[in-house]
Amino acid sequence: MGVPPMSFCDLCASTRTNELTGGTPVPQKVKMLELSGKQKSYLRGLGQKLHECVIIGKAGMSEPVLEQVRTFLARHELIKVRLLSLNAKERPAAAQEIAKATDATVVNVLGGTTLLYKPNDELDPAKRIKLPWGEAL
């Protein structure tokens, strides 16, 4: 039996060791959080009050920008990211790229604004977002 092929994002690949590869790290695809429609609706409602905390301009996505997104997600769980220099057809794909690179979930893409969610168990329980209707998958 061989190692199954894996697709992964270069920026967010977590690693594991495998005895078949001699103990060298093997990229592992990170499972993204799946939200129900009601949970997404609830998060969109919370997101209406938010301002964009990260703006991605002409320079595009770089590691420092992605690190800033990770930092804000760790502090707030739900953030807005503004995509300035992309046309309407490119925005959903760019939002998915950002989500993969930060292990977050895209809640909504509306115009040039993307709403991202990533739960943080280490956050103070009073500051955590409590999703209604059960836990996300």
Query: pTM for this structure?
Result: 0.73
What's the pLDDT score for residue 59?
A: 84
Asked: is 37-117 a CATH 3.30.110.60 domain? The reply is yes
* Residue boundaries of the structural domains of the chain: 1-30, 37-117
pLDDT at 16: 37
Q: What is the pLDDT of residue 31?
A: 55
Residues of the chain scoring pLDDT < 70 = 1-32, 134-137
- According to the model, what pLDDT value does residue 115 have? 96
In angstroms, the Cα distances linking 17 to 14, 22, 93 are: 11, 8, 30
pLDDT at residue 136, as a whole number: 52
The reported pLDDT for the residue numbered 72 is 95
How many angstroms from the chain centroid is the CA of residue 39? 16
